[in-house]
Amino acid sequence: MKRTSITLSCTLALLLLAASCSDGTETTGTGTADNTGDNVETVDIANLSDMEKRALMTDNLPEKDYGGMQFRISTKEGTMYEIDEEEETGDICDDALFARNRTIEERFNIEIVPIITNANDGDTHVNAVRQSIMAGDDAFELAATYVFKTGPLVTEGYYLNWLNMPYTDLSQPWWIDGINDNFRVGDAIYTVVGDMCVSTLKLTYGVFYNRTIGSNYDLTGEIFDAVHNGSWTIDYFLELIADLYSDVNGNGTQDEGDFYGLTAEPYTNLDVYTFAFDIPIIGRDDSGTPQFVFNNEKTIAAVEKINKLYWDGTHSYIPNDAGLPVTMFISGQSLFTTTYLGQAFGAMRDMKDEYSILPYPKWDEHQESYLTGAMDNYSVLGIPVTVSDTEMVSLITEALNIESYKTLFPTYYEQALQDKYARDDESIEMIDILMAGRNFDFCTLFSSTIPTMPWLFRQLVAGKSTDFASKYSGGEKAALKALDDILTAYEKNADN
Protein backbone atom coordinates (compact mmCIF):
# COMPACT_ATOMS: atom_id res chain seq x y z
CA MET A 1 0.00 0.00 0.00
CA LYS A 2 1.41 3.36 -1.01
CA ARG A 3 1.04 6.09 1.54
CA THR A 4 -0.78 9.13 0.20
CA SER A 5 1.05 12.42 -0.11
CA ILE A 6 -1.49 14.31 2.01
CA THR A 7 -0.04 14.60 5.50
CA LEU A 8 0.19 17.52 7.81
CA SER A 9 3.97 17.38 7.86
CA CYS A 10 4.06 19.40 4.62
CA THR A 11 7.48 17.91 3.94
CA LEU A 12 7.99 19.49 0.56
CA ALA A 13 7.01 22.94 1.77
CA LEU A 14 9.38 22.70 4.69
CA LEU A 15 12.25 21.57 2.47
CA LEU A 16 11.72 24.52 0.17
CA LEU A 17 11.57 26.90 3.08
CA ALA A 18 14.66 25.42 4.68
CA ALA A 19 16.56 25.81 1.43
CA SER A 20 15.61 29.48 1.24
CA CYS A 21 16.65 30.41 4.77
CA SER A 22 19.04 28.35 6.85
CA ASP A 23 18.31 30.24 10.08
CA GLY A 24 14.69 29.13 10.26
CA THR A 25 13.18 32.36 8.98
CA GLU A 26 11.63 33.50 5.72
CA THR A 27 12.00 37.11 4.58
CA THR A 28 9.14 38.75 2.75
CA GLY A 29 8.60 42.34 1.70
CA THR A 30 6.99 44.84 -0.61
CA GLY A 31 10.12 46.23 -2.26
CA THR A 32 11.81 45.33 -5.53
CA ALA A 33 12.01 41.90 -7.08
CA ASP A 34 15.12 41.11 -5.04
CA ASN A 35 13.12 41.81 -1.88
CA THR A 36 15.04 44.91 -0.78
CA GLY A 37 12.16 47.26 0.02
CA ASP A 38 11.57 49.33 3.11
CA ASN A 39 8.74 47.16 4.39
CA VAL A 40 10.49 43.87 5.10
CA GLU A 41 9.03 41.24 7.41
CA THR A 42 10.78 38.22 8.86
CA VAL A 43 8.66 35.13 9.41
CA ASP A 44 9.63 32.60 12.07
CA ILE A 45 8.86 29.32 10.34
CA ALA A 46 9.00 27.32 13.55
CA ASN A 47 6.02 29.23 14.92
CA LEU A 48 3.84 28.83 11.84
CA SER A 49 0.95 26.42 11.74
CA ASP A 50 0.95 23.68 9.12
CA MET A 51 -1.63 25.61 7.14
CA GLU A 52 0.49 28.75 7.23
CA LYS A 53 3.47 26.78 5.98
CA ARG A 54 1.42 25.48 3.08
CA ALA A 55 0.37 29.02 2.25
CA LEU A 56 4.03 29.93 1.66
CA MET A 57 4.36 27.22 -1.00
CA THR A 58 5.49 28.55 -4.36
CA ASP A 59 5.07 27.01 -7.80
CA ASN A 60 6.86 27.19 -11.12
CA LEU A 61 3.82 27.79 -13.29
CA PRO A 62 4.17 30.49 -15.93
CA GLU A 63 2.13 33.66 -15.76
CA LYS A 64 -0.50 33.67 -18.51
CA ASP A 65 -3.26 36.10 -19.43
CA TYR A 66 -6.20 34.31 -21.03
CA GLY A 67 -8.17 37.48 -21.67
CA GLY A 68 -11.24 36.53 -19.64
CA MET A 69 -11.60 33.06 -21.18
CA GLN A 70 -13.99 30.69 -19.44
CA PHE A 71 -12.66 27.58 -17.74
CA ARG A 72 -15.68 25.29 -17.66
CA ILE A 73 -15.89 22.35 -15.28
CA SER A 74 -18.57 19.69 -15.70
CA THR A 75 -19.94 18.75 -12.29
CA LYS A 76 -23.18 17.83 -10.55
CA GLU A 77 -25.27 19.38 -7.82
CA GLY A 78 -23.96 17.09 -5.09
CA THR A 79 -20.31 18.07 -5.45
CA MET A 80 -20.48 21.81 -6.05
CA TYR A 81 -18.72 22.23 -2.68
CA GLU A 82 -15.40 21.39 -4.39
CA ILE A 83 -15.96 23.28 -7.66
CA ASP A 84 -17.40 26.76 -7.09
CA GLU A 85 -19.03 29.09 -4.59
CA GLU A 86 -20.71 32.20 -6.01
CA GLU A 87 -20.22 34.38 -2.95
CA GLU A 88 -18.85 34.39 0.57
CA THR A 89 -21.31 32.87 3.06
CA GLY A 90 -19.47 33.13 6.37
CA ASP A 91 -18.83 29.37 6.43
CA ILE A 92 -15.05 28.87 6.52
CA CYS A 93 -15.13 26.07 3.93
CA ASP A 94 -17.41 27.91 1.51
CA ASP A 95 -15.34 31.05 1.84
CA ALA A 96 -12.09 29.16 1.25
CA LEU A 97 -13.54 27.74 -1.99
CA PHE A 98 -14.68 31.20 -3.05
CA ALA A 99 -11.22 32.62 -2.34
CA ARG A 100 -9.45 29.78 -4.19
CA ASN A 101 -11.38 30.41 -7.39
CA ARG A 102 -11.03 34.17 -7.23
CA THR A 103 -7.25 33.80 -6.76
CA ILE A 104 -6.94 31.63 -9.88
CA GLU A 105 -9.30 33.83 -11.89
CA GLU A 106 -7.31 36.96 -11.11
CA ARG A 107 -3.93 35.32 -11.64
CA PHE A 108 -4.72 34.02 -15.13
CA ASN A 109 -7.56 36.35 -16.14
CA ILE A 110 -10.11 33.59 -16.57
CA GLU A 111 -13.64 32.89 -15.37
CA ILE A 112 -14.32 29.55 -13.67
CA VAL A 113 -17.74 28.36 -14.78
CA PRO A 114 -19.39 25.18 -13.45
CA ILE A 115 -21.45 23.23 -15.99
CA ILE A 116 -23.94 21.60 -13.64
CA THR A 117 -25.83 18.38 -14.27
CA ASN A 118 -29.00 18.68 -12.22
CA ALA A 119 -28.68 15.33 -10.49
CA ASN A 120 -26.74 13.91 -7.59
CA ASP A 121 -26.37 10.41 -9.02
CA GLY A 122 -23.27 9.39 -10.94
CA ASP A 123 -24.98 7.74 -13.91
CA THR A 124 -26.85 10.85 -15.00
CA HIS A 125 -23.71 12.96 -14.88
CA VAL A 126 -21.46 10.45 -16.64
CA ASN A 127 -24.07 10.00 -19.37
CA ALA A 128 -24.25 13.78 -19.82
CA VAL A 129 -20.45 13.94 -20.14
CA ARG A 130 -20.43 11.08 -22.64
CA GLN A 131 -23.19 12.56 -24.78
CA SER A 132 -21.52 15.96 -24.87
CA ILE A 133 -18.17 14.51 -25.96
CA MET A 134 -19.78 12.24 -28.55
CA ALA A 135 -21.57 15.25 -30.02
CA GLY A 136 -18.31 17.19 -30.19
CA ASP A 137 -19.88 20.05 -28.25
CA ASP A 138 -16.66 21.29 -26.65
CA ALA A 139 -18.88 22.22 -23.71
CA PHE A 140 -16.28 22.02 -20.91
CA GLU A 141 -12.54 21.85 -20.32
CA LEU A 142 -12.59 19.50 -17.34
CA ALA A 143 -15.00 16.89 -15.94
CA ALA A 144 -15.26 15.93 -12.26
CA THR A 145 -17.26 12.70 -12.04
CA TYR A 146 -17.93 9.99 -9.43
CA VAL A 147 -15.01 7.55 -9.50
CA PHE A 148 -17.06 4.36 -9.50
CA LYS A 149 -19.05 5.44 -12.55
CA THR A 150 -16.18 6.88 -14.59
CA GLY A 151 -14.57 3.70 -15.96
CA PRO A 152 -16.56 3.65 -19.24
CA LEU A 153 -15.38 7.18 -20.08
CA VAL A 154 -11.84 5.78 -19.90
CA THR A 155 -12.36 2.55 -21.81
CA GLU A 156 -14.46 4.22 -24.51
CA GLY A 157 -11.68 6.70 -25.19
CA TYR A 158 -13.37 9.94 -24.17
CA TYR A 159 -10.53 11.23 -21.97
CA LEU A 160 -7.02 12.43 -22.76
CA ASN A 161 -3.89 11.04 -21.12
CA TRP A 162 -2.80 13.29 -18.24
CA LEU A 163 0.81 12.22 -18.72
CA ASN A 164 0.80 14.11 -22.03
CA MET A 165 -0.23 17.38 -20.38
CA PRO A 166 2.59 19.97 -20.26
CA TYR A 167 1.95 21.49 -16.81
CA THR A 168 0.67 18.42 -14.98
CA ASP A 169 3.20 17.11 -12.45
CA LEU A 170 1.69 14.22 -10.55
CA SER A 171 4.77 13.95 -8.34
CA GLN A 172 3.80 17.13 -6.51
CA PRO A 173 2.10 17.00 -3.08
CA TRP A 174 -1.16 18.54 -4.32
CA TRP A 175 -1.84 15.33 -6.23
CA ILE A 176 -2.98 12.28 -4.24
CA ASP A 177 -0.43 9.69 -5.29
CA GLY A 178 -2.16 6.88 -3.42
CA ILE A 179 -5.00 7.18 -5.93
CA ASN A 180 -3.16 8.30 -9.03
CA ASP A 181 -0.51 5.60 -8.81
CA ASN A 182 -3.29 3.03 -8.67
CA PHE A 183 -5.10 4.47 -11.69
CA ARG A 184 -1.98 4.62 -13.87
CA VAL A 185 -1.02 1.80 -16.21
CA GLY A 186 2.30 2.11 -18.00
CA ASP A 187 2.47 5.51 -19.67
CA ALA A 188 -1.22 6.34 -19.33
CA ILE A 189 -3.57 7.75 -16.71
CA TYR A 190 -6.93 9.18 -17.76
CA THR A 191 -8.40 10.23 -14.42
CA VAL A 192 -6.52 12.00 -11.64
CA VAL A 193 -7.32 13.20 -8.13
CA GLY A 194 -5.83 16.19 -6.37
CA ASP A 195 -6.56 18.48 -3.45
CA MET A 196 -9.30 20.31 -5.34
CA CYS A 197 -11.24 17.03 -4.98
CA VAL A 198 -12.25 17.69 -1.37
CA SER A 199 -14.67 14.77 -1.62
CA THR A 200 -11.74 12.42 -0.95
CA LEU A 201 -11.42 13.99 2.50
CA LYS A 202 -15.12 14.19 3.31
CA LEU A 203 -15.73 10.59 2.19
CA THR A 204 -12.83 8.98 4.06
CA TYR A 205 -14.15 6.43 6.56
CA GLY A 206 -13.49 6.21 10.28
CA VAL A 207 -14.90 4.55 13.38
CA PHE A 208 -16.90 7.04 15.47
CA TYR A 209 -16.78 6.36 19.21
CA ASN A 210 -19.19 7.76 21.83
CA ARG A 211 -16.84 8.94 24.57
CA THR A 212 -19.65 9.87 26.94
CA ILE A 213 -20.99 6.32 26.97
CA GLY A 214 -17.51 4.80 26.81
CA SER A 215 -16.52 6.62 29.99
CA ASN A 216 -19.30 4.75 31.82
CA TYR A 217 -17.50 1.52 30.92
CA ASP A 218 -14.01 2.98 31.62
CA LEU A 219 -13.08 2.24 28.01
CA THR A 220 -11.66 5.48 26.63
CA GLY A 221 -8.13 5.13 27.96
CA GLU A 222 -8.01 1.47 27.02
CA ILE A 223 -9.17 2.17 23.46
CA PHE A 224 -6.63 4.92 22.79
CA ASP A 225 -3.88 2.81 24.33
CA ALA A 226 -4.82 0.01 21.92
CA VAL A 227 -4.59 2.32 18.94
CA HIS A 228 -1.23 3.66 20.08
CA ASN A 229 0.35 0.29 20.80
CA GLY A 230 -0.93 -1.34 17.60
CA SER A 231 -3.39 -3.74 19.23
CA TRP A 232 -6.51 -2.02 17.81
CA THR A 233 -7.39 -5.06 15.68
CA ILE A 234 -10.63 -6.56 14.45
CA ASP A 235 -10.37 -9.34 17.06
CA TYR A 236 -9.90 -6.77 19.83
CA PHE A 237 -12.86 -4.80 18.49
CA LEU A 238 -15.07 -7.90 18.44
CA GLU A 239 -14.10 -8.72 22.01
CA LEU A 240 -14.73 -5.14 23.11
CA ILE A 241 -18.33 -5.01 21.89
CA ALA A 242 -19.24 -8.67 22.41
CA ASP A 243 -21.58 -8.10 25.37
CA LEU A 244 -22.77 -4.59 24.57
CA TYR A 245 -26.50 -4.85 24.08
CA SER A 246 -29.46 -3.62 26.09
CA ASP A 247 -33.16 -4.14 25.37
CA VAL A 248 -33.90 -0.51 26.17
CA ASN A 249 -37.54 -0.51 25.07
CA GLY A 250 -38.20 -3.83 26.81
CA ASN A 251 -40.08 -5.48 23.96
CA GLY A 252 -37.85 -8.55 23.87
CA THR A 253 -36.83 -7.91 20.26
CA GLN A 254 -33.65 -6.43 18.81
CA ASP A 255 -34.74 -3.27 17.05
CA GLU A 256 -33.87 0.39 16.59
CA GLY A 257 -35.11 1.24 20.07
CA ASP A 258 -32.28 -0.65 21.80
CA PHE A 259 -28.60 -0.03 22.61
CA TYR A 260 -25.75 -1.78 20.75
CA GLY A 261 -22.00 -1.96 20.62
CA LEU A 262 -22.03 -1.15 16.90
CA THR A 263 -24.49 0.28 14.41
CA ALA A 264 -23.59 0.06 10.73
CA GLU A 265 -25.15 -0.39 7.31
CA PRO A 266 -24.64 -3.28 4.84
CA TYR A 267 -23.48 -1.11 1.92
CA THR A 268 -20.42 1.12 1.54
CA ASN A 269 -19.37 0.48 5.17
CA LEU A 270 -18.49 -3.03 4.10
CA ASP A 271 -16.25 -1.99 1.21
CA VAL A 272 -13.89 -0.28 3.66
CA TYR A 273 -12.83 -3.48 5.40
CA THR A 274 -10.86 -4.71 2.39
CA PHE A 275 -8.95 -1.42 2.41
CA ALA A 276 -8.52 -1.48 6.20
CA PHE A 277 -7.19 -5.06 6.16
CA ASP A 278 -4.93 -4.36 3.15
CA ILE A 279 -6.75 -6.83 0.91
CA PRO A 280 -6.56 -5.44 -2.64
CA ILE A 281 -8.92 -6.67 -5.32
CA ILE A 282 -6.49 -5.77 -8.08
CA GLY A 283 -2.76 -5.67 -7.45
CA ARG A 284 0.24 -5.58 -9.79
CA ASP A 285 2.51 -8.25 -11.20
CA ASP A 286 6.28 -7.84 -11.38
CA SER A 287 5.95 -5.71 -14.53
CA GLY A 288 3.41 -3.38 -12.92
CA THR A 289 0.44 -4.74 -14.86
CA PRO A 290 -2.84 -4.88 -12.91
CA GLN A 291 -4.05 -8.35 -12.05
CA PHE A 292 -6.63 -9.87 -9.72
CA VAL A 293 -5.17 -10.86 -6.35
CA PHE A 294 -8.44 -11.09 -4.41
CA ASN A 295 -8.78 -14.87 -4.26
CA ASN A 296 -6.72 -15.83 -1.22
CA GLU A 297 -7.06 -17.21 2.30
CA LYS A 298 -6.94 -13.79 3.94
CA THR A 299 -9.95 -12.57 1.95
CA ILE A 300 -11.91 -15.68 2.88
CA ALA A 301 -11.02 -15.23 6.55
CA ALA A 302 -12.01 -11.55 6.41
CA VAL A 303 -15.42 -12.40 4.97
CA GLU A 304 -15.97 -14.79 7.85
CA LYS A 305 -14.75 -12.26 10.42
CA ILE A 306 -16.98 -9.41 9.27
CA ASN A 307 -19.94 -11.77 9.04
CA LYS A 308 -19.28 -12.49 12.70
CA LEU A 309 -19.04 -8.76 13.47
CA TYR A 310 -22.30 -7.98 11.70
CA TRP A 311 -24.52 -10.95 12.38
CA ASP A 312 -23.32 -13.15 15.26
CA GLY A 313 -24.77 -12.32 18.67
CA THR A 314 -26.61 -9.19 19.76
CA HIS A 315 -23.78 -6.64 19.73
CA SER A 316 -24.49 -5.13 16.29
CA TYR A 317 -27.54 -3.58 14.66
CA ILE A 318 -27.37 -3.56 10.85
CA PRO A 319 -30.54 -2.05 9.32
CA ASN A 320 -31.15 -1.69 5.58
CA ASP A 321 -31.81 2.00 6.15
CA ALA A 322 -28.38 3.51 5.39
CA GLY A 323 -28.97 6.61 7.52
CA LEU A 324 -30.33 4.91 10.64
CA PRO A 325 -26.99 3.69 12.13
CA VAL A 326 -25.66 7.27 12.34
CA THR A 327 -28.98 8.55 13.69
CA MET A 328 -28.90 5.91 16.42
CA PHE A 329 -25.29 6.74 17.26
CA ILE A 330 -26.09 10.44 17.59
CA SER A 331 -28.94 9.63 19.97
CA GLY A 332 -26.67 7.50 22.17
CA GLN A 333 -27.91 4.07 21.09
CA SER A 334 -24.52 2.64 20.15
CA LEU A 335 -20.97 2.87 21.38
CA PHE A 336 -19.54 2.80 17.84
CA THR A 337 -20.63 3.47 14.29
CA THR A 338 -18.66 3.30 11.05
CA THR A 339 -19.17 6.18 8.65
CA TYR A 340 -17.40 8.86 6.62
CA LEU A 341 -15.77 12.01 7.97
CA GLY A 342 -18.29 14.26 6.23
CA GLN A 343 -20.77 13.32 8.95
CA ALA A 344 -18.71 15.47 11.30
CA PHE A 345 -19.62 18.46 9.14
CA GLY A 346 -23.30 17.61 9.06
CA ALA A 347 -25.34 15.20 11.13
CA MET A 348 -23.00 15.11 14.12
CA ARG A 349 -22.54 18.85 14.54
CA ASP A 350 -25.36 18.97 17.10
CA MET A 351 -24.62 15.68 18.85
CA LYS A 352 -24.87 16.18 22.62
CA ASP A 353 -22.57 13.34 23.67
CA GLU A 354 -18.82 13.70 23.21
CA TYR A 355 -17.41 11.55 20.44
CA SER A 356 -14.02 10.66 19.00
CA ILE A 357 -13.00 9.50 15.54
CA LEU A 358 -10.82 6.38 15.38
CA PRO A 359 -9.12 4.48 12.57
CA TYR A 360 -10.61 1.23 11.34
CA PRO A 361 -9.15 -1.76 13.21
CA LYS A 362 -6.19 -3.55 11.66
CA TRP A 363 -6.49 -7.16 10.54
CA ASP A 364 -3.94 -8.24 13.16
CA GLU A 365 -0.99 -6.82 15.08
CA HIS A 366 1.40 -7.83 12.30
CA GLN A 367 -0.21 -5.30 9.97
CA GLU A 368 2.20 -2.39 9.75
CA SER A 369 -0.24 0.53 9.92
CA TYR A 370 -3.89 1.51 10.22
CA LEU A 371 -5.59 1.77 6.85
CA THR A 372 -8.92 2.97 5.58
CA GLY A 373 -10.79 3.74 2.40
CA ALA A 374 -13.03 6.41 0.97
CA MET A 375 -16.58 5.98 -0.24
CA ASP A 376 -16.52 5.17 -3.94
CA ASN A 377 -18.20 8.40 -5.10
CA TYR A 378 -15.31 10.79 -4.62
CA SER A 379 -14.49 12.89 -7.67
CA VAL A 380 -11.93 12.11 -10.36
CA LEU A 381 -10.81 14.61 -13.01
CA GLY A 382 -10.75 13.95 -16.74
CA ILE A 383 -9.96 16.04 -19.82
CA PRO A 384 -12.39 15.38 -22.71
CA VAL A 385 -10.89 14.62 -26.11
CA THR A 386 -12.88 17.57 -27.50
CA VAL A 387 -10.59 20.07 -25.72
CA SER A 388 -8.55 22.13 -28.18
CA ASP A 389 -6.26 24.02 -25.78
CA THR A 390 -4.80 21.26 -23.61
CA GLU A 391 -2.01 23.55 -22.42
CA MET A 392 -4.54 25.91 -20.85
CA VAL A 393 -6.47 23.04 -19.22
CA SER A 394 -3.29 21.52 -17.80
CA LEU A 395 -2.11 24.87 -16.43
CA ILE A 396 -5.38 25.90 -14.79
CA THR A 397 -6.04 22.44 -13.33
CA GLU A 398 -2.53 22.37 -11.85
CA ALA A 399 -3.07 25.86 -10.43
CA LEU A 400 -6.44 24.91 -8.91
CA ASN A 401 -4.90 21.93 -7.15
CA ILE A 402 -1.93 23.97 -5.94
CA GLU A 403 -4.20 26.63 -4.47
CA SER A 404 -6.39 23.92 -2.94
CA TYR A 405 -3.31 22.38 -1.34
CA LYS A 406 -2.31 25.76 0.07
CA THR A 407 -5.69 26.96 1.34
CA LEU A 408 -8.82 24.90 0.65
CA PHE A 409 -7.77 21.44 1.86
CA PRO A 410 -6.09 22.78 5.03
CA THR A 411 -9.23 24.79 5.81
CA TYR A 412 -11.31 21.62 5.74
CA TYR A 413 -8.72 19.52 7.49
CA GLU A 414 -7.22 21.80 10.10
CA GLN A 415 -9.66 24.61 10.78
CA ALA A 416 -12.93 22.77 10.18
CA LEU A 417 -12.51 19.05 10.76
CA GLN A 418 -9.83 19.24 13.42
CA ASP A 419 -10.58 22.47 15.25
CA LYS A 420 -14.32 22.95 14.87
CA TYR A 421 -15.84 19.50 14.64
CA ALA A 422 -13.39 17.09 16.25
CA ARG A 423 -14.24 17.04 19.93
CA ASP A 424 -10.87 16.20 21.49
CA ASP A 425 -7.11 16.19 21.00
CA GLU A 426 -7.03 12.43 20.54
CA SER A 427 -9.43 12.70 17.59
CA ILE A 428 -7.12 15.18 15.89
CA GLU A 429 -4.32 12.63 16.18
CA MET A 430 -6.63 9.86 14.95
CA ILE A 431 -7.67 11.91 11.90
CA ASP A 432 -3.99 12.30 11.05
CA ILE A 433 -3.70 8.50 11.18
CA LEU A 434 -6.74 8.11 8.95
CA MET A 435 -5.49 10.48 6.30
CA ALA A 436 -2.02 8.96 6.27
CA GLY A 437 -3.46 5.47 5.85
CA ARG A 438 -5.96 5.93 3.03
CA ASN A 439 -5.88 2.93 0.72
CA PHE A 440 -7.15 2.74 -2.87
CA ASP A 441 -7.74 0.15 -5.57
CA PHE A 442 -7.64 0.16 -9.38
CA CYS A 443 -10.89 -1.80 -9.31
CA THR A 444 -12.81 1.14 -7.83
CA LEU A 445 -12.44 3.18 -11.02
CA PHE A 446 -13.97 0.33 -13.02
CA SER A 447 -16.74 -0.70 -10.65
CA SER A 448 -19.32 -0.29 -13.41
CA THR A 449 -17.17 -2.16 -15.94
CA ILE A 450 -15.75 -5.17 -14.08
CA PRO A 451 -18.52 -7.59 -13.04
CA THR A 452 -18.78 -9.22 -9.61
CA MET A 453 -15.42 -8.30 -8.06
CA PRO A 454 -15.99 -4.69 -6.90
CA TRP A 455 -19.01 -5.69 -4.83
CA LEU A 456 -18.14 -9.29 -3.92
CA PHE A 457 -17.08 -8.68 -0.31
CA ARG A 458 -20.02 -6.38 0.34
CA GLN A 459 -22.59 -8.73 -1.20
CA LEU A 460 -21.36 -11.77 0.68
CA VAL A 461 -21.47 -10.12 4.11
CA ALA A 462 -24.72 -8.29 3.42
CA GLY A 463 -26.22 -11.62 2.38
CA LYS A 464 -24.87 -13.33 5.53
CA SER A 465 -22.80 -15.65 3.36
CA THR A 466 -19.24 -16.90 3.70
CA ASP A 467 -19.17 -18.81 0.40
CA PHE A 468 -16.44 -16.71 -1.20
CA ALA A 469 -15.00 -19.49 -3.34
CA SER A 470 -18.10 -20.25 -5.40
CA LYS A 471 -19.06 -16.59 -5.78
CA TYR A 472 -15.57 -15.70 -6.97
CA SER A 473 -15.39 -18.66 -9.32
CA GLY A 474 -18.72 -17.74 -10.88
CA GLY A 475 -17.56 -14.23 -11.76
CA GLU A 476 -13.88 -14.81 -12.50
CA LYS A 477 -14.04 -15.44 -16.25
CA ALA A 478 -16.09 -12.34 -17.03
CA ALA A 479 -13.96 -10.21 -14.70
CA LEU A 480 -10.73 -11.33 -16.35
CA LYS A 481 -12.15 -10.50 -19.77
CA ALA A 482 -13.23 -7.05 -18.55
CA LEU A 483 -9.79 -6.35 -17.08
CA ASP A 484 -8.12 -7.39 -20.32
CA ASP A 485 -10.36 -4.99 -22.26
CA ILE A 486 -9.49 -2.17 -19.84
CA LEU A 487 -5.76 -2.73 -20.23
CA THR A 488 -6.14 -2.83 -24.02
CA ALA A 489 -7.97 0.52 -23.90
CA TYR A 490 -5.21 2.05 -21.77
CA GLU A 491 -2.58 1.03 -24.30
CA LYS A 492 -4.66 2.00 -27.32
CA ASN A 493 -5.41 5.53 -26.11
CA ALA A 494 -2.08 6.31 -24.44
CA ASP A 495 -1.03 8.74 -27.19
CA ASN A 496 -4.19 10.89 -26.79
User: Global pTM?
Assistant: 0.89
Contact residues for 225 (Cβ-Cβ < 8 A; gap 6+): none
Task: Write down the CATH number for the domain with range 70-201+376-421.
Answer: 3.40.190.10
Instruction: Name the CATH superfamily for 205-373+424-473.
Output: Periplasmic binding protein-like II (3.40.190.10)
Amino acid at 490: Y
What integer pLDDT is reported at residue 320 of this predicted model? 96
User: Start-end ranges of CATH 3.40.190.10 in the chain?
Assistant: 70-201+376-421, 205-373+424-473
Q: What is the pLDDT along the chain (496 residues), one digit of tens a residue?
A: 333 333 333 333 333 333 333 334 443 333 333 333 444 456 677 888 777 888 888 899 999 999 999 999 999 988 999 999 999 999 999 999 999 999 999 999 999 999 999 987 889 999 999 999 999 999 999 999 999 999 999 999 999 999 999 999 999 999 999 999 999 999 999 999 999 999 999 999 999 999 999 999 999 999 999 999 999 999 999 999 999 999 999 999 999 999 999 999 999 999 999 999 999 999 999 999 999 999 999 999 999 999 999 999 999 999 999 999 999 999 999 999 999 999 998 899 889 999 999 999 999 999 999 999 999 999 999 999 999 999 999 999 999 999 999 999 999 988 888 888 888 888 889 999 999 999 999 999 999 999 999 999 999 999 999 999 999 999 999 999 999 999 999 999 988 8
